[in-house]
Amino acid sequence: MSGEFTYSASIRFKHPKRDTTLFDKIVGKQPGRRWRVGEQRSTPKGNPLTGVYRESYCFYKIGKGDREDLCACLRKMNRRLARHKRRLAAWRKHGGTIMYYVFCVSESGGVFGAVFPPHLLTQLGSLGIELGLEVYPPRRQQRRGEEAGVRP
């Protein structure tokens, strides 16, 4: 990996019909947020919104840190999930998705990059896990953009 950045990583599960509670034990954590298909939509604080959810969803925070430990964080969760490979495959077979979502912020003020080694990408493919990256400029540039009405 090159450049300096910090990250926050989560794993997300979505399904058009099935409940996501089975992942609490698999991931070994309580979800940051969860809803079930057909439930009344609500804000994170529980205030009602119009409509119902069209799919079941949950996410679990799995790590945060700097560029040095992002791959280690993902490998650790891969090892845990590998013990449940059949369940993950069944989840995907019936319409579900699984995704690591990584939020990155540049700390150096410049461009940064991340290199994911082949064995990590192979693990993701074998487990059927998507990798989503959301990359933001340095925090001070974010503040300037927010003052101008631009939000990341």
pLDDT tens string 86-120: 999 999 999 999 999 999 888 776 677 788 999 99
In a domain, 9, yes or no: yes
Lowest-pLDDT range of 13-27, 69-83, 136-150: 136-150
- Give the model's pLDDT for residue 151: 40
- How many structural domains is the chain composed of? 1
In a domain, 152, yes or no: no
pTM: 0.85
Convert the pLDDT of each residue in 33-53 to its tens digit.
Answer: 999 999 999 999 999 999 999
**pLDDT higher than threshold 50 for residue 62:** yes
* DSSP-assigned beta bridge partners for residue 101: 10, 132
Averaged pLDDT, 67-78: 88
Confidence of residue 68 (pLDDT cuts 50, 70, 90): low
In a domain, 122, yes or no: yes
**pLDDT higher than threshold 60 for residue 141:** no
In a domain, 15, yes or no: yes
In a domain, 108, yes or no: yes
In a domain, 27, yes or no: yes
In a domain, 21, yes or no: yes
Which domain does 62 fall in, by range?
Answer: 5-147
